[in-house]
Chains A and B, each alone.
Chain A
Amino acid sequence: MNMSNALCVEKVHVWRGDRHVLQGVSTQIGPGELLHVSGPNGTGKTTLLRVVSGLLRPEQGSVTWLGHSIVEHRADYQAALAYAAHEPALKGDLTALENLRFSVGLKRRSKPQELRGALERTGVAACADLPARVLSAGQRRRVSLARVIAMQASLWLLDEPYANLDAAGSELVSGLLQDHVAAGGLALVVAHRELALACNVRRLELNS
């Protein structure tokens, strides 16, 4: 594996008040790999995701991307990642397309056709011009996935991407992940359910 292309998490410790949430977690992801982080509730899966994304600075330990610390090379790192939190993170008063134009527009210049294409790929092309607050939870999840695709990022950080989705939606997510990883992308997926993916999946189980 080409080390310079990897995401490395080294001995990360995080305390939340008195709780030692992450106790020296280390892992790495290379291109074409997907890391599935699982574990019971409250074991720090989302915390780990936030540390990897750079939102949370660990008390001890480090995260490096392409050999550089993500704290020192923040802009480059953020340009290469797409983060999808548990909430779909859409502005209710903007349409789905406007939401995408804004989020993606901060990362790269894109044409509206590309964004509509991304919405079509996740099956919500019809919602493109509807305000996000009238969409169902499942539709919003699909719009946030369209955002992840449209950002064209190499590293995907997804927190419970299967939430609020029906069987067809789950198949869609699996398909997107497989395609992304097959094309050389990296993904870190937090999911408490089992993943049945036809690609290179490594597992990190967090327990208290």
Chain B
Amino acid sequence: MWTWFYKLASPPYVYGVAAALMPWFLGLALLTIGYGLIAGLGFAPPDYQQGDAFRIIYVHVPSAWMSEFVYTTMALAGGIALIWRIKVGHAVAAASAPIGASLTLLALVTGSMWGKPMWGTYWAWDPRLTSELILLFLYVGVMSLRSAFEDPARGDRAAALLAVVGAVNVPIIHYSVVWWNSLHQGATVAKLGKPSIAGSMLWPLLSMFVGFMLFYGAVLCLRLQGEVLNRERQSAWVREAIKS
């Protein structure tokens, strides 16, 4: 198994793996998301409390969950790259950051859309939404830091350190936001929790979770190819790959 890990540190190997996996990820993602959307939006019965408005969870909850997953991945990849000096880790982190930020934005927008029928307002300082907002700020910080350096290698390392520090802080931020919200909760604000789930609602939701994960995988593979090529553009194997 260790030989596989060693191979993973090699940019050309990773490039090849990403290129091979991408179509599979994309295909499966389209299938699972397709099923999830059709079953969830079209066929699942309306919630007895929220009516049809609850259907936004099919997009909101997976995207919120994925935004956190991607941040963790980004921090892990960056941390590994920082400690063991494996440059591919930086490529994974750089490729994942915009994906995660977009997912966070999606979670915020869909959360806001859900807010209107739930609370009558497009924004409320709900703990989930507030945490997502702070997560977006963390993403923007990492991306800005990376691009602020003229030497891309130093930019990668700085961004990786920041991502790790941010990852350590995410649980703290979550807890503090929940605590804060419990102090100030007004009567009209309700948590954007999952409504009580019946089977016909649950399966599409799970499918969407899997689908979003696969979608991240697909886009990551695509972006990773680009990142690896860009970072290794001086090396021999890239010139060979371009010629062929």
Contacts and interface: CB of A to CB of B under 8 A. Distances in A.
Interface string B228-244: 00000110000000000
Interface stretch (A14-22, A93-101, A143-151): A14-22
Q: B interface, by DSSP: helix, strand, loop or mixed?
A: loop
Nearest to A18: B234
A15 B153 CA distance: 9
Interface string B142-162: 000000001111000000000
Contacts of A16: 151
Nearest to A17: B151
A114 B87 CA distance: 48
Interface in B204-240: 233-234
Contacts of B234: 15, 18, 20
Interface string B129-153: 0000000000000000000001111
Interface size class of A (residues with CB under 8 A): under 10
Contacts of B153: 15, 17
B129 to A, nearest CB: 40
Contacts of A15: 153, 234
Interface in A1-43: 15-18, 20
B231 to A, nearest CB: 11
A165 B45 CA distance: 86
A63 to B, nearest CB: 16
Contacts of B151: 16-17
Contacts of A17: 150-153
Interface string A100-134: 00000000000000000000000000000000000
B42 to A, nearest CB: 52
A20 B236 CA distance: 14
B207 to A, nearest CB: 45
Nearest to B234: A18
10 contacts: A15-B153, A15-B234, A16-B151, A17-B150, A17-B151, A17-B152, A17-B153, A18-B233, A18-B234, A20-B234
Given A15-B153, A17-B150, A17-B152, 7 more contacts: A15-B234, A16-B151, A17-B151, A17-B153, A18-B233, A18-B234, A20-B234
**6 closest A-B pairs (Cβ-Cβ)?**
A17-B151, A16-B151, A18-B234, A17-B152, A17-B150, A15-B153
